[in-house]
Structure 1
Amino acid sequence: MANKSFEFISGAECLDLANTIGGARGQTNEIEYLESYQDLLNWGRLKGLLSERQAASLELKSKDHQYEANEVLEKTKELRKSIYHIFSAFASGQIPSDSDLLVINRELEHGLHRQRIVWGSSGYEWGWEEPTELDSLLAPIARSAADLITSADLTHVKECTSPSCSWLFVDETKNQSRRWCNMKTCGNRNKLQRFRSRQIRHEQK
């Protein structure tokens, strides 16, 4: 399976999916990370939603059903788009559109029957049936979005303040001071820009 680098910095599965577009949405630096169904499987494997065996099995199945796999990829992108719109709206104090919520509810209706009570590391917990269908990843992502929308953590959802980034995250800092998706990238870039601006103003005096 081809490797592609993904970052998981958001604190929620649904937001990690939303963050599979790099840069700022609709801008020239926008980057698509899910270019194929195999990319989606690799994301699910790295996220821990699929085991190596499960991802390999689904990849093999996708080669025999390429049309269906491509349809799942497009459905995933539609779900991703709605997730971004919903939580970007919440982050800016707005109400999300009914059409975006409809996409989440549609995937919940389609996939929640795959939930199971399973044995986990600390006892019985909610889990999912063996992911044997090409769209098996969609239900856990939709459930993650539903859980976040209905949780107290919703008020902590933020969008990166960098003008060149649209990533979402749950701010888990004590004083709710997190501004950037990643301090090592957007945070340092912002600091460098402010430093250069101060230098320019100093030189102009």
Structure 2
Amino acid sequence: MTERFRAGAGRLCLDFVRTLRYRGTPEELEELPDAAAWGAWIDQLGPFPAPVRPGSAGDAWVVREAIHELLTGEVRDPVRRRLNRFAAFPVPAPSLAPSGELRWQARDPVQAMLALLVRDALDLVTSPDFARVRRCAGPRCGALFLDTSRPGTRRWCSMEICGNQAKKSTYRAKAGIRA
């Protein structure tokens, strides 16, 4: 299966915030334009075995922007209340299938996914790991990621994409090559 959405930011909430790609640039791209895309994101990155079909993407956008504000600045009271409201939704419950496989289920998988995302963000900002959240140094990217490198000096969300582009640009500039 080809993965449609980027993962690997180090925390699920960081992967979710990256669904507004190139945030704040003229190339800004909404990766969750509708309910089908939101469902595809849950299917790819969520814990549920069966496909999830949300009715809309509205709550996903609200939660994503509240999490982004939480991770990047001072949280205003309405955003804090919104985060707390979504965090209070029931989360998925684990169950052991007859095959021995762990499965996750929820009465409302969409609400459960939103609760997981908000709880992950709240856990992150109240943990020592929060000091290692970085913004990608890629000039067009700006995605947030958790720097898990030993020295804590990682610069790019992805060495394969942003890091490679930066190294190519540096090489071209030194060699006098136009892109």
TM-score, normalisation: structure 1: 0.73
Who is 1:78 aligned against? 62
Gaps of 5+ in 1: 63-68, 90-94, 121-126
> What does residue range 1-205 of structure 1 map to in structure 2 within 5 Å?
5-23=4-22, 25-51=23-49, 53=50, 55=51, 58-59=52-53, 62=54, 69-70=55-56, 73-89=57-73, 95-109=74-88, 111=89, 114-115=90-91, 118=94, 130-132=106-108, 134-200=110-176
Q: Deviations over 1:50-98 (max 9, x none)?
A: 22x2x2xx42xx5xxxxxx22xx11211111121222233xxxxx4444
- Deviation, 1:6, is 0.6
Gaps of 5+ in 2: 97-102
Q: Deviations over 1:28-57 (max 9, x none)?
A: 111111122121121112113222x2x2xx
Identity of matched residues, %: 26
Contact 2:3 2:44 in 1 (8 A): no
Who is 2:99 aligned against? none
Who is 1:66 aligned against? none
Q: Which has the larger radius of gyration?
A: 1
- With over 3 angstroms needed to count, the CA separation of the structure-2 counterparts of 1:85 and 1:163, relative to structure 1, is farther
- Deviation, 1:172, is 0.5
- With over 3 angstroms needed to count, the CA separation of the structure-2 counterparts of 1:36 and 1:96, relative to structure 1, is same
TM-score, normalisation: structure 2: 0.83
The alignment's C-alpha RMSD in Å is 2.5
- Deviation, 1:105, is 1.5
Higher helix proportion:
1
Secondary structure class of the residue paired with 2:134: strand
Q: 2: distance between equivalents of 1:168 and 1:4?
A: 19
Q: 1: distance between equivalents of 2:34 and 2:76?
A: 28
- Deviation, 1:107, is 1.1
Number of corresponding residues: 170
Q: 1: distance between equivalents of 2:92 and 2:41?
A: 23
Q: Deviations over 1:2-45 (max 9, x none)?
A: x871111111111111011222x121111111122121121112
Q: 1: distance between equivalents of 2:171 and 2:92?
A: 53
Which amino acid letter does the alignment assign opposite residue 81 of structure 1? E
- Deviation, 1:198, is 1.5
- With over 3 angstroms needed to count, the CA separation of the structure-2 counterparts of 1:4 and 1:83, relative to structure 1, is same
Contact 1:131 1:137 in 2 (8 A): no
